[in-house]
Amino acid sequence: MAERYSRQILFPGIGREGQEKIRSKHVLLVGAGALGSGNGEILTRAGIGRLTIIDRDYVEESNLQRQQLYTEADVEQKLPKAAAAEKRLRAINSDVEIEAIIGDATPEVLEGLANGIDLIIDATDNFETRMAINDVSQKYRIPWIYGACVGSHGMSFTILPGTTPCLNCLLRRIPLQGLTCDTGGIIAPAVQMAISHQSAEALKILVEDWEAIRSTFVSFDLWRNEYTAMKMSKAKFPGCLSCGEHPTYPYLDKENMTKTTVLCGRDTVQIRPSAKGEISLEKLASQLGSLGYEVKGNPYLLSVELGGERMVIFKDGRALIHGTKDLTHAKSVYQRIMG
């Protein structure tokens, strides 16, 4: 097994001791899309001890342009990204303990996963989830690495509780909320650059080389040949409700979480039921089929179509309504199909 990681062990920043530390660590990867699949593969090949992946979406054809773990077969089967990623990563390194969670990274779920986590990597596509990650990071003193990309542009920042400003602090200085892939599209090299920044920082944290961790907020545009590294030490805000002198962790409050979300990059609304529970996909498929709906499915989800409307339903009752960004219309479709 030493031969497997020999080139990594030869690198002075890691060495044999660092490799043993990597092997002992547990990383939580929030999102299994473009950034998630790349970071997940690098960590798996590097020999991380345990990797937990949480993602709410399934593989679509448009993902294949930049999401490196997935294949056309995953698209045909409409596999959830977390499940497809787990399968692929296990084939890459069977020694890594991998757990796939198919669902939403809500504050409750994130807090439930916090125990024993050494690092959180942000690979999500919305700031609601990122702010929840940020508050979990601060509350449980877990380092996390922010990352985002759109078009040919990307950015990354490493957040160490008690040392660096948190994401809530940065929102006072940088208009991060303007990022979206809806209007600008995205090219794969921008994804790979953001992944490189995140995964390099991840390795530094995992081997506990705290002095090597980048203290700047990195922003780049590969098409325009621009690269910026901004010092953020003065951005730390004493009155921050997430990391300040009297934190209240506001983004872990259920009242601050919406039940509907427009997904990044496509005309799709996610609807999340307020009550917990699990539905019988087999029973639902039979009921909807008898009503004339076209129903396809696998053990993880159902795809339901009728009259141009398409909805994908997961076991926990969560649904993706395709072909709209109208929250009211999406709720109407959901209620019509789910009753």
Question: Per-domain residue ranges for the chain?
Answer: 6-256, 260-338
Residue 165, pLDDT > 50, answer yes
Which whole number is the average pLDDT over 68-88? 96
Amino acid 274: pLDDT:
63
Identify the top-confidence range among 48-52, 259-263, 285-289: 48-52
Which whole number is the average pLDDT over 218-240? 95
Amino acid 183: pLDDT:
41
Q: Cα–chain-centroid distance for residue 120? A: 10
Domain 6-256 belongs in CATH node 3.90.480.20: no
Higher pLDDT, 256 or 68: 68
CA Rg value for the chain = 20
Global pTM reads: 0.83
Tokens of 334: 């959901």
Tokens of 222: 């590969």
Which DSSP symbol is given to 308? Answer: T
The fold of 260-338 is TATA-Binding Protein (3.30.310)
Residue 1, pLDDT > 90, answer no
Mean pLDDT of the chain: 90
Which whole number is the average pLDDT over 312-323? 91
Is 125:181 a contact under the CB 8 Å cutoff?
yes
Residue 56, pLDDT > 70, answer yes
